[in-house]
Amino acid sequence: MPDCLSPAVWDSRRMEPCGGSTWPTRPAMIPRILRLDPSGQQLETFAVETLGGPRGVAYRDGFIYVSIKGGYYASIVRYDINTRERTVIFDKIPSGGWHEPGGPVFSPTDGLLYFAHGSVSQNGVVLPQGFTVDIVKHPRAHDIPGQDITLTGNNVWSRDPTMPYPYLTETGPFKPFGVPATKGEIVKGELWCTSGLWRARPDGTDIELLAWGLRNPYGMAFSEDGKLYVSDNDLEEKGERAVAGDPNRIWRIRNAKQPHGTVQTPDWYGFPEICADGLPVWDKKHLPDKGKAAEPLFANLPEWAGPPAYLERPHSCMTKMDFCKSDTFGHHGKLFACKWGTLAPLNSPRQEDLATVFESCAST
């Protein structure tokens, strides 16, 4: 089904992404981009994507820009509205795991294209539960940092679902499943990291990494004065690196206000070491009732870019959002955000998390 709170609008026609689940355990519709005419009576398939599912769409100067998840790499593609010609803008965004692309969106002040992508792992290390979803198709996928990180050598032991039970294996951060890290090992930061947020010119030139450490930056929205806000989902209380009580959040991306080309070091928003309340995942407040408690993975924590602009209950699963720009609607300037709701008890044993359901909300 369409998953856009803010679909692209061209000549009063709505363009929305539809279908294309990348989870092998889910049935999937054909991944399509739909076009709805102004009357609301005619809905047609504008384009079909063969590799994976379209996740977001934005319109700019006669083109729509679409984020697509599928395979080891996500992509941003551009369609000519009139000819339907398809052009790949980016196709090396590291993916293949749990989390989603964010955007694309265009800044109302600099006209640049902004987009993001979440982490491969749920809680910082690729673990067996990933083999129930995307990791089973991409077993060598792993997280990549946005700046140089020295590791503690605290690996995570888990069962190996690719071997006869009860075979155990050891996995480190920024490694494929079953590959351990060593104490003092330095993992080099890369432009194309996971949990990252980038901007570029609409033709794909002058790419710039603004932020990383965003676990699942699925919703992105600009205020009318050019401030960029991003929704992000919490760490989960399950598995061999479990974290309790991490709030859902909306971040304001500070570097989006910096002149294009001037960001030398991306801001870090905490994943996988800092919860949205600013406490480390191994703090006693975040010790789990279910699963094994987290240990530090980074020997050198980057400076945290928090606090968030807004905190929501754990396991709210905040998704798409947009600012109201209409005086007629009556909430001009407010940010509207959707919440997909909890997967408890799958990702939390706590009774209070069972009550977090699908809803929409607004905030100033």
The per-residue pLDDT for 164 is 83
Least confidently predicted of 3-7, 191-195, 283-287: 3-7
Q: End-to-end CA distance of the chain, in Å?
A: 29
Q: pLDDT tens-digit profile of 46-88?
A: 888 877 789 999 999 999 999 999 889 999 999 999 999 999 9
- As a whole number, the mean pLDDT across the chain is 89
Cα–Cα distance measured from residue 321 to residue 309, given in angstroms and rounded to the nearest whole number: 14
Query: What does the alpha-carbon distance between residue 235 and residue 346 come to, in Å, rounded to a whole number?
Result: 13
279: pLDDT strictly greater than 70 = yes
Copy the structure tokens of residue 349: 């044993």
CA dist 13 and 33 (Å) reads 12
Instruction: pLDDT band for 38, please (50, 70, 90 cuts).
Output: confident
Structure letter (DSSP) for residue 241: G
Q: How far apart are CA 205 and CA 189, in angstroms?
A: 21
Contact 291, 237 (CB under 8 A): yes
- Residue 293 pairs in a beta bridge with 242
Q: CA 203 to CA 90: how far, in whole Å?
A: 10
CB 141 within 8 A of CB 176: yes
Lowest mean pLDDT among 1-15, 264-278, 333-347: 1-15
12 has pLDDT over 50: no
Does a cis peptide bond (omega within 30 degrees of 0) precede residue 272?
yes
Band (pLDDT 50/70/90 cuts) for residue 360 is: low
Give the pLDDT confidence score for residue 351 in this predicted structure. 74
- Asked whether the beta carbons of 326 and 176 are under 8 A apart, the reply is no
Rounded-to-integer distance, Cα 60 and Cα 183, Å: 48
**pLDDT confidence bin for 356, thresholds 50/70/90:** low
364 vs 104 pLDDT, higher one = 104
Whether the per-residue pLDDT at 2 is higher than 60: the answer is no
Per-residue pLDDT band at 165 (split at 50, 70, 90): confident
The helix/strand/coil state of 352 is helix
Instruction: Name the burial class of residue 171, with classes exposed (0-12), middle (13-18) and buried (19+) by CB atoms within 10 angstroms of its CB.
Output: buried
Q: Average of pLDDT values for 168-175?
A: 97
The residue type at 6: S
Per-residue confidence (pLDDT) for residue 263, from 0 to 100: 98
Give the whole-number percent of the chain exceeding pLDDT 90. Answer: 68
41: amino acid identity, one letter = Q
- High-pLDDT (> 70) share of the chain, %: 89
Residue with tokens 């606090």: 307
Q: What is the pTM of this model?
A: 0.91
Unique residue bearing structure tokens 């979803």: 133
Tell me the average pLDDT across 177-181: 97
CB 277 within 8 A of CB 244: no
Among 147-156, 298-307, 317-326, 355-364, the range scoring the smallest mean pLDDT is: 355-364
Q: What is the pLDDT of residue 170?
A: 96
For the ranges 42-46, 192-196, 237-241, the lowest mean pLDDT is seen at 42-46
Cβ–Cβ contacts within 10 Å for residue 349, how many?
17
Is residue 27 over pLDDT 70? no
